[in-house]
Amino acid sequence: MTVTVRVGTRASALAVTQTTTVAEALAAGGALKYELVRIKTEGDVLKGSLAQIGGTGVFVAALREALLDDRCDVAVHSLKDLPTGVAEGLQIAAIPVRVDVRDALCARDGLTLAELPAGAKVGTGSPRRAAQLRAARPDLDVVDIRGNVDTRLGRVKGLTGEPRVEGKHADLDAVVLAAAGLARLGRTEHVTELLDPSVMLPAPGQGALAVECRVADAAAGTALAGALADYDDAESRLAVTAERSLLARLEAGCSAPVGALARVEAGNLVLKAVVCSPDGSRLLHGEQQVPAAGSEDAVALGARLAEELLGRGAGDLMSQAGR
């Protein structure tokens, strides 16, 4: 018998696109069908900067509530938005193959970061991106922005032909967005530079998706549980586990000025991280590695690098971001 799985998603174009990709992959084996359940989140309703309304975690709470209330069977999150704390009764049952981790500059006239003129206005809603932009180019005017991908692109002069925000169309010289989101939406033609991690380390978990379900459903031996297990990618899970362990030990939220990237290289799991002051005047970089064995080693790696950064003053930099 074919089972229909209810897949929870935010209603934004990006969320629906990436959720549909996940749902189709889970259904590909033939034993499952799916239906999308659109969930309105507090972050979609409230205005103001993400930092003011509680960070990207506000997008997660409503989806988790829908799972616990049995309004959907699985929920799909951008992993970088997912808080590091344990969600009672829920489990990240699958992390599919991670895609491009980089941040992307979308600028007028095909400009790169180095080519933007002094005083150019660059929009981002991420304190991490803002701090690293200011560190790389202290002469830029970094502007806090909200909105979906198309709204943000519409604020760049000459980048798209459609006004998206009343009174704020084409008022910026560039925006910085996640390359993965732009690729999923088919908007890569607007990318003028993919920012190397040596210039801008991504958010922990960036480029990865998390498929969450109730703990009982993940262990039920059902067609859904089997599809989730098959969909999980071990190397992607290992990398994001290290990154999220670092974030958890720093006691930093999803919107904190922290970048991290783990990769398997020559049999080792290598973790790089940065903690930034909001104005970009101080960046603490660190790097450690362990043999790429299992999740316990990844957790230990993240915690160890976090301890190193805390010993060098990371806590003070993050407290500045909260003021």
Which residues lie below 8 Å from residue 238, measured CB to CB, with a gap of 6+? 262, 264, 269, 292, 294, 295, 298
Query: Which residue in 69, 70, 73, 81 is the catalytic one?
Result: 81
| Cα dihedral 132/304/231/219 (nearest 10) | -140
Tokens of 183: 């690729």
Q: Is residue 10 within 8 Å of 148, Cβ to Cβ?
A: no
Tokens of 110: 């095909």
**How many other β-carbons are positioned within 10 Å of the β-carbon of residue 38?**
14
81 noted as active-site residue: yes
Q: Is residue 80 within 8 Å of 204, Cβ to Cβ?
A: yes
Please give the Cα distance from 223 to 2 (Å, whole number): 9
Amino acid at 227: A
Q: Is residue 208 within 8 Å of 95, Cβ to Cβ?
A: yes
Active site residues: 81
